[in-house]
């Protein structure tokens, strides 16, 4: 089962992707995690990606496509996977579609987690991240045990540049301009399913399970 998660930044698609991966024993593939790992390790790819991410812009296709296709070709993806953060543009979707077609495969579901922009700005402004271990929190919904301190490694939590309100608004504009057309793309292929992302995350997940099946 090959699944693509769609939705604006902060819609909660990453959380849902992990829950889907756990339930159906599929690898959760997040380009964001791949980029952050490269940033943490100081690689050339990571530094280049960081320039775009810090400004709330999408990482260009040429930095993204190869690493993704290499990843889904690995052994643990033979029964499927959950893609989180890719594709983000029509050209990326077309490259993925072409690569899968050559393998005699295709995407089974594209799940759109739908949340209004104003909800997203508020959500992301409450996020906090640990620069040491990568753990993430939310000051309202998933607060750390001690304010501003990571539960896992006791390092200081920060509001990442890409979660600041001015950056979020720019990311949403980029999303609506470049990524939202994917909804039409996957609708035309007959695989798009939309769920309400404003409700409790467990209710969102229940709606997704009703689509994918037990």
pLDDT in tens, 131-183: 899 899 999 889 999 999 999 999 999 998 888 889 999 989 988 888 889 99
pLDDT, one tens digit per residue, over 113-131 is 999 999 999 888 899 999 8
Q: How confident is the model at residue 43 (pLDDT cuts 50, 70, 90)?
A: confident
Q: What are 169-175's contacts with CB under 8 Å, separation 24+?
A: 169/121, 170/55, 170/56, 170/57, 171/8, 171/9, 171/56, 171/57, 172/8, 172/9, 172/117, 172/120, 172/121, 174/56, 174/57, 174/58, 175/8, 175/9
68: pLDDT strictly greater than 90: no
Catalytic site residue 160? Answer: yes
| Domain layout of the chain by residue ranges | 2-116+175-212
Q: From the candidates 18, 160, 164, 193, give the one annotated as an active-site residue.
A: 160
Catalytic site residue 13? Answer: yes
pLDDT, one tens digit per residue, over 187-207 is 999 999 999 999 999 999 999
Catalytic site residue 88? Answer: yes
Q: What percent of the chain has pLDDT over 70?
A: 100
Residues paired with 128 in a beta bridge: 137
Q: From the candidates 13, 36, 50, 123, give the one annotated as an active-site residue.
A: 13
The CA distance from 136 to 124, in Å, is 11
Q: From the candidates 2, 50, 127, 128, give the one annotated as an active-site residue.
A: 127
Q: From the candidates 2, 88, 123, 128, give the one annotated as an active-site residue.
A: 88
Q: How confident is the model at residue 69 (pLDDT cuts 50, 70, 90)?
A: confident
CATH 3.40.50.300 fits 2-116+175-212, yes or no: yes
The mean pLDDT of 88-93, rounded to a whole number, is: 89
The CA distance from 128 to 160, in Å, is 7
27: pLDDT strictly greater than 90: yes
Catalytic site residue 127? Answer: yes
Catalytic site residue 123? Answer: no
């Amino acid at each position: 089962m090959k699944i693509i998660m769609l939705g604006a930044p902060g819609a909660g698609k990453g959380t849902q992707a992990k829950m889907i991966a756990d339930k159906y024993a599929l690898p959760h593939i997040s380009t964001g995690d791949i980029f952050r790992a490269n940033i943490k390790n100081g690689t050339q790819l990571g530094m280049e990606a960081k320039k775009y991410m810090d400004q709330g812009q999408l990482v260009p296709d040429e930095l993204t496509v190869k690493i993704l296709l290499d990843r889904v070709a690995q052994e643990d993806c033979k029964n499927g996977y959950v893609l989180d953060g890719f594709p983000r543009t029509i050209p990326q979707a077309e490259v993925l579609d072409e690569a899968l077609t050559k393998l005699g495969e295709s995407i089974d579901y594209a799940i759109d987690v739908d949340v209004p922009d104003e909800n997203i700005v508020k959500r992301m402004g409450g996020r906090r991240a640990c620069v040491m271990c990568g753990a993430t929190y939310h000051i309202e919904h998933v607060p750390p045990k001690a304010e501003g301190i990571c539960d896992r490694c006791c390092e200081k939590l920060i509001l990442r540049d890409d979660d600041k309100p001015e950056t979020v608004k720019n990311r949403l504009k980029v999303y609506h301009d470049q990524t939202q057309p994917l909804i039409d793309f996957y609708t035309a292929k007959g695989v798009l399913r939309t769920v309400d992302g404003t409700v409790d995350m467990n209710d969102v997940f229940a709606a997704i399970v009703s689509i994918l099946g037990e």
